[in-house]
Structure 1
Amino acid sequence: MEPRSIAQLSVLLQAGALDPVALVEETLAAIEAYADASLFTVLLKERAKAEAEASRRRIREGRSLGVLDGVPIAWKDLFDIQGLPTTAGSRVLKDSEPAGEDAAVVQALAGAGMVSVGRVNMSEFAFSGLGINPHYGTPRNPASPAGEHRIPGGSSSGSGVAVAAGLVPVSIGTDTGGSVRIPAAFNGIVGYKATRGRYSMKGVFPLAKSLDALGPLCRTVQDAIWVDAAMRGLPSADALPRPGVADLSFVIPETVFFDGAEPEVVAAFEAAVARLAKAGARIRHQAFPEFSAIFDLMAKHGALVTAEAFVLHRERIQGPAAAEMDPRVVKRTLLGEKITLADYLETLAARDRLITSFEERLGPESILISPTLPHVAPQIQPLLDDEDLFFQVNGKTLRNTLIGNFLDWCGVSLPCGTGAAGMPVGLLLSGPRNSDGRVLAAASTVEGLLR
């Protein structure tokens, strides 16, 4: 299928030039014909066709639910779908009790007329930024050079690939340390991580509740804006106005983000920033000691995500289920056993102080602009062959984005060119908690200039 955005499909659907039933049949056929069988874990054929038929009736009768009516969507395997077990990319949950109802955000987008076509693969229990899954396979990054299998990024691996491959215009992921923004950057698409708590988490399998956030992976910022509104139960008519470039103030962080970055990534980022500056954007460089302090805290007390994941999974990883899990997930989760309650509480207290300090240092109108990741997607085989390399690359992949989760940012990753081997590079716009509207609007302006 030719990749199409929600906006492109919506124009055709609302005008009657494209039938929702024909679109869902085309979508399901393309998914089944796609060479990579590791991408979708479940196809919702009956549900999708019923939802598409309902959309067809509404549009023909002049009762459209809005711009999303009839548009296909895929879900990361963490969202409850009525009648199915929520497996979270793991074999140990495949026989768990089926969900009694859809997750709240699944219900919200169904209420906007979207057509759920299936669930997509992910890192097991969302506990890796690389997207490797030994149980259901690892989706191949569609941007990989011929003959290579490069990683998709995780943990929303299937979401990133499904959109990049043009199979669906949007897939909803989760982001605890970068799991929306990482696959978006690696696959050359848009990924929006909302402020934690912007949407209901009811029916979403957790990893670390103090960090978990949701967001769409899609083709354009406008698509993300529409989906964001629908996930909050708002009409798309409330779409955000796009500010002028000269109205934007960006801050390039001098701390952590560029450490060890590939030269090609830095070059692509600097070229994008130069275009913004030429168009009139205000740009300054600034150090943020809060960023280094996060990693000092983790070294001293352990990571929040590890502590909370251990509590969530301790019975599994200390029992027979551990043998059925990805040993790398087990090994990383077990690190949480060493984190004391005092460590955890001290980290939470320090987090509050660092959030306040960062927001005061950034200022009220500025948006952080940085490379999403310090490197492009690497080849998978060396990571499978060398466990030490796996953990090293996983840590570096998560490094930039986890800062945003710890400090409770929202963020949008945009494609901004290519790096080594012609692989996509992402540019990340980040703002303080609850500045989502301002960051999305700025991202829309930046996207228009970069494209």
Structure 2
Amino acid sequence: MSKSFGAMSVAQLSVLIQGGAADPVEVAEAVFDSIANYADKAVFTTLLESRAMEEARASSRRLRGGRSLGLLDGIPIAWKDLFDIEGLPTTAGSVVLAKNMPAKRDAAVVALLRQAGMVAVGRTNMSEFAFSGLGINPHYGTPVNPRGTDLPRIPGGSSSGAGVAVAAGLVPVAMGTDTGGSVRIPAAFNGIVGYKATRGRHAMAGVYPLAKSLDSLGPLCRSVTDAVWIDAAMRGLTAPDVVAHPLQGLELIVPENIVFDGAEAGVVAAFEAALERLQKAGAKVARTVIPAFDEIFELMTRYGPLVTAEAFALHQERLAGADADRMDHRVVMRTRLGSKTTLPDYLAILEARSRLIAVVERLVGDRLLAFPTVAHVAPPIGPLEQDDELFFATNNKTLRNTALGNFLDWCGVSIPCGTGEAGMPVGLLLSATPHRDEALLGAALAAEAVIRDDFA
């Protein structure tokens, strides 16, 4: 029996556990052993070994007694370092919160997945305060993308440790948050699946915010099936309610503006090859300009980004005090830009956002959108750490495609579709308009095998 339980999908591991071929205690012990033997110590900020073993033993007793809680009973999961864990301070990738009062209870979704029988193994590293798409963290170290074979490359952020923990085979699933791409970007860079739900689909209680108008949740995992199972449990369901939709007749929109600007040739080639496979499988593709995309960037130029305004409001007091000197200076610089967005500016952004969401919903209808998750593969870490100008330019480009979906309140799934430069993974992003998560996931279930190539 293989002990690489963390390298399995949730569905594969569930078959072993539910069938009695693997015991949850054995699985948890193997996961901690894999983490201990993994060279990169920047993936996790905290391990929860005592709690995990207690949860694994409880799962084992249930299963031996024929009282399984369902498909996820005994499955290990890692949590991004901004979900409240009872008895620990929530540090959000920052040292300035390390002495805060411990959380009195688990975050709502942590509690829900515990009720489903999942085993919490630890907290994963992240960009400080979730405010970067690159995943670089000067306090706890930067997890290295395990797909890189030439030199250390970024993991993507802000759910950096979550993406690496799954891609490296340490855990079958890790939970992230997504305000501008923080689930989908690390999924694409690390060659795994990342699902960002429509904002409000999952309970946000006990999750440290970045920008509440944009924050959403979602898992990073090995398959769309895994994402569907986790999503159901996050909503308190005992079984998934999403079924695969036939690819025959699936209608996709490929935007012709913004999302391919400056895209690497390898990214475009991998995306177009996957799109061709989808068409051969029966999907219908229409290419069109989406004027709202250009207007979103015009709004940001005029008023500043919505995320920056809300992040500044959240951290204004902290930025004015001594804590600012203990934060990543790039996070400080970017957050302080939010001070330039006045209250009338902020209200103008919200009004325009509501209008654009409605406009795009009418344009898209029941169709899905498809474009590269990120226009480039994961770049090397070193130059980004040394050059602030390069850091900000790369961060903006990295977030560009995914942030459109957050502004328009879309749900989205990034699926590996091939490789680009340096053999690094490329992600294809399927998106749907707000609250069409079931349609998106149902289509993604059917499309995944076609979108993936031999790499995935």
Q: Is the CA contact 2:184–2:402 (under 8 Å) kept in the aligned structure 1?
A: yes
Deviations 1:178-229 (A, max 9, x none): 0000000000000000000001100000000000000000000000000000
* TM-score normalized with structure 2 length: 0.97
Residue number in structure 1 paired with 2:277: 275
Deviations 1:288-330 (A, max 9, x none): 0000100000000111111110011011111100110000000
1:255 aligns with 2:260: no
1:154 to 149, 157, 168: 157
Q: Separation in 2 of the partners of 1:351 and 1:184?
A: 27
2:230 to 221, 227, 230: 227
Deviations 1:149-186 (A, max 9, x none): 10000000000000000100101100000000000000
3-state SS of 2:302 partner: helix
3-state SS of 2:248 partner: helix
Between Structure 1 and Structure 2, how many residues are aligned? 448
Q: Separation in 2 of the partners of 1:313 and 1:9?
A: 41
Deviations 1:405-431 (A, max 9, x none): 000000000000000000000000000
2:201 to 194, 198, 202: 198
Q: Separation in 1 of the partners of 2:127 and 2:198?
A: 22
2:93 to 89, 95, 120: 89
Q: Aligned runs of 1:333-412 on 2, under 5 Å? A: 333-363=335-365, 365-412=366-413
1:130 to 123, 131, 134: 134
Deviations 1:245-292 (A, max 9, x none): 113111101111101100110000000000011111111111100001
Residue number in structure 2 paired with 1:38: 42
Structure 2 unaligned regions, length at least 5: none
Q: Separation in 1 of the partners of 2:385 and 2:116?
A: 41
Q: Is the CA contact 2:126–2:135 (under 8 Å) kept in the aligned structure 1?
A: yes
1:79 aligns with 2:83: yes
Q: Separation in 2 of the partners of 1:359 and 1:346?
A: 20
More divergent stretch after superposition (279-288 vs 121-130)? 279-288
* TM-score normalized with structure 1 length: 0.99
1:217 aligns with 2:229: no
Q: Aligned runs of 1:39-118 on 2, under 5 Å? A: 39-118=43-122
Amino acid at match of 2:380: Q
Q: Is the CA contact 2:78–2:174 (under 8 Å) kept in the aligned structure 1?
A: yes
Backbone CA RMSD of aligned residues? 0.7
Q: Separation in 2 of the partners of 1:29 and 1:16?
A: 21
3-state SS of 1:48 partner: helix
> By how many angstroms is 1:450 displaced?
3.0
3-state SS of 1:208 partner: coil
Deviations 1:52-109 (A, max 9, x none): 0000011111100000000000000000000000000000001110000000000000
Amino acid at match of 1:412: V
Q: Separation in 1 of the partners of 2:194 and 2:201?
A: 16
Amino acid at match of 1:162: A
1:164 to 167, 183, 196: 167
Residue number in structure 2 paired with 1:4: 8
Identity rate of aligned residues, in percent? 64
Q: Separation in 1 of the partners of 2:176 and 2:233?
A: 15
Residue number in structure 1 paired with 2:431: 430
Q: Separation in 1 of the partners of 2:242 and 2:98?
A: 41
> By how many angstroms is 1:242 displaced?
1.0
Q: Separation in 2 of the partners of 1:166 and 1:249?
A: 34
> By how many angstroms is 1:33 displaced?
1.1
More divergent stretch after superposition (75-84 vs 311-320)? 311-320
> By how many angstroms is 1:338 displaced?
1.1
> By how many angstroms is 1:448 displaced?
2.0
Residue number in structure 1 paired with 2:289: 287
1:301 aligns with 2:299: no
Residue number in structure 2 paired with 1:19: 23
Amino acid at match of 2:225: Q
Amino acid at match of 1:362: V
> By how many angstroms is 1:346 displaced?
0.3
Runs of 4+ in 1 over 3 A off after TM superposition: none
Amino acid at match of 2:407: F
Residue number in structure 1 paired with 2:316: 314
